[in-house]
Structure 1
Amino acid sequence: MPRAIWTGAISFGLVTIPVKMYSAVQRKNVRFHQLNGKTGVRIQQKRVDPSTGDEVPYDDIVKGYELSPDRYVVIEPSELEALDPKKTKTIDIEDFVEEAEIDPIFYDHPYYLAPGAGGAKPYRLLLEAMQETGRVAIAKVVIRSKEQLVAIRPMGEALEMSTMVFADEVLSAERLDELPDPDEVKTTKRELDIAKQLVDSLAGAWEPDKYRDTYREEVIALIERKASGEEIAEQPALDEEEAPVPDLMSALKASLDAVKSRDGGEAKKPAAKKPAAKKTAAKPKAKAS
């Protein structure tokens, strides 16, 4: 049974819904430690004052905001604590918006919300109301002494809550100088038609289990081989010459022909859009310790 990492309540108008929060993902990164290459011993990180060379005790460390190189404003812990948001246990819903209006770039970390004691009926009511209206709840909640903007949406028979970034944290793509100018870079109708055929030929249903982190799997396999004493032969780096950019139309046609050949000589027709079926959300797994 997974352990809730936060408990509180959703404030929905005058309705209060007791909820428990669980992590919805478990990252599976391969972590390495830093070792001394000569002794194989794990090294220690120390906080050292470069002006004296002495290690600084943790109690003597304060926070400083850099104004300019080597010029800081020192902030005391008590000053930051005075600014901490009020530690409530409430997820305060402020708005309901159309899910399609939210750009995915605003989503950050996902969680599951489950009903707490006595909250099954209002929880189910909120879930069904959002399913029927196609809307997402935008709310604020304090998690770990920080006020978070969150989105709550139905996921199968559960409510999923994602922390969100604020608008001023999203960088505009217009700041990229390399983006092509639509007035200068023109595509032809024939090129667009073939590109659309290629997109349709590669279209399919979203199957998340189809995609795997092959790099992580290869790293783990490498670790297991080395741990068992196998000698690993390193491949020499190849001098790669920059390949010429292929003709766009030729590349499109070759790509489309390759897909047709793979599918038996016919370009796959795009599947008709079907209304989203209700899916049962996977039970959240306990986070590995």
Structure 2
Amino acid sequence: MPRPIWSGSISFGLVNVPIKMYNTVKKKTISFNQLRKSDGCRIRLKKTCAIDGAEVPSDQIVKGYEVSPDRYVVVTQEDLDSLNPKASKTIEIEDFVLSEQINPIYYEQSYYLSPDKGAAKAYTLLLSAMKESKRIAIAKLIIRNKQHLTAIRPDGRALTLSIMHFADEIVSKDDIDDLPTDIQPEKRELNIAVQLVESLSADFDPTKYHDEYREKVIEMIEQKAEGQQIVNQPAAEQGAKVVDLMAALEASLAAIKKEPPTAKPRRKKARAQ
């Protein structure tokens, strides 16, 4: 059973909704330790001085911000603590906006919000109002002395909260080189490209996709642990360079049409939440 990682309340107007926050993701990563090749001895990293090579104990290490080459401003924990935002257990909603106005690039990490004891009615009211108005909430949240910009969204029976990037953290498209500006596709090419997209279209099923590399690494580790011989996989062939875009589109569409038909679920009309 998941445990809440934070508790507080959502505030909008004069209404407070006590909530609990849960992780939406349990990350699956593979961690490796560094070992000495000759005997498998665990390698430990030491913090040393770049000038004399001496090991430096933790109580002798301070934070420094480089202002010019090899010149630092020393910043103490007291300096940082004096600037910390005032601790708060309230998620203060500042605006309600249309979800399509937010580029997904702003979203960073998401959490579930559930009502705390006695807050189910107020929680359901907020959830229903956001669904009815087709709006999501933009709010500020302070966790571990850091202020976050967040978006609260209705998702079925639950509210979710997504940590967002601030605007000055987003790289502008104008800073990216070589983005096309005045190129227009030919009508015939566009028609075939649309047919190709439609032929490959399906309803999104997240369970269909897997981290194949992670699964192969786990399988390889298990085989090694059991003493099995590992056979290297042949390198994947590089795809041929596309010379004629039209020919490539037509060949792709023809290949799909030759595949045996598979039963696809009927699409349901999307209902606004």
TM-score of the two chains, using structure 1 as the length reference: 0.88
State how many pairs are aligned: 271
Distance in 1, matches of 2:60 and 2:33, equals 27
Stretch deviating more after TM superposition (163-172 or 227-236)? 227-236
Which residue of structure 2 lines up, in the alignment, with residue 87 of structure 1?
87
Q: Is 1:204 the counterpart of 2:170 in the alignment?
A: no
Distance in 2, matches of 1:162 and 1:115, equals 17
1:25 alignment partner, SS class: coil
**Amino acid aligned to 1:47:** K
* Structure with more relative contact order (C-alpha pairs < 8 Å, separation 6 or more): 1
- Counterparts in 2 of 1:1-289, with a 5 A limit? 1-182=1-182, 185-235=183-233, 243-264=240-261, 274-276=269-271
2:203 alignment partner, SS class: coil
Q: Post-superposition shift, 1:90?
A: 0.4
Q: Gaps spanning 5+ residues in structure 1: where?
A: 279-289
Which residue of structure 2 lines up, in the alignment, with residue 286 of structure 1?
none
Stretch deviating more after TM superposition (127-136 or 38-47)? 38-47
Q: Post-superposition shift, 1:234?
A: 3.1
RMSD, aligned α-carbons: 2.1
Distance in 2, matches of 1:253 and 1:47, equals 60
2:83 alignment partner, SS class: coil
Q: Post-superposition shift, 1:273?
A: 7.0
Q: Post-superposition shift, 1:277?
A: 7.3
Describe the superposition over 1:207-242 as per-residue Cα deviations: whole angstroms up to 9, x where unpaired. Answer: 11111111111110011001101121335768x788
**Amino acid aligned to 2:68:** S
TM-score of the two chains, using structure 2 as the length reference: 0.93
Distance in 1, matches of 2:268 and 2:234, equals 49
Describe the superposition over 1:254-289 as per-residue Cα deviations: whole angstroms up to 9, x where unpaired. Answer: 111111112549xx9xx77722377xxxxxxxxxxx
Distance in 2, matches of 1:82 and 1:177, equals 41
Describe the superposition over 1:48-73 as per-residue Cα deviations: whole angstroms up to 9, x where unpaired. Answer: 11222211111111111112221111
**Amino acid aligned to 2:227:** G
Describe the superposition over 1:174-208 as per-residue Cα deviations: whole angstroms up to 9, x where unpaired. Answer: 222222332xx342100011001111111111111
